[in-house]
Amino acid sequence: MTIRVLRERDLYSAWVTPPHAEVEWSTPYPMSAQQLYNNLMELGCHSVDIIDALYECDPEWQRHAPDFKT
């Protein structure tokens, strides 16, 4: 399974399973792109995979996250 992200207004929910993360995980609540990125990085996801999933879900995700930092 890949990283799957869903947009909920300006927030995001995600699901991920190995091998993209060390464990199966889903967001406990909708969160900002930055929070989602940070959580997925802590789970062992690759930064490129996270960014790709955000773009696939919402091509304009950066407009909703102007302070986003990798």
Q: Where are the domains of the chain?
A: 4-64
Q: What is the pLDDT of residues 3-53, one digit of tens each?
A: 999 999 889 999 998 887 888 999 999 999 999 999 999 999 999 999 999
* Residue that is written with structure tokens 């909703």 in the block: 64
18 CB neighbour count, 10 Å cutoff: 12
Rounded CA-CA distance 63/41 in Å is 21
pTM of the model: 0.90
Q: Write out the two tokens for 5.
A: 């992200």
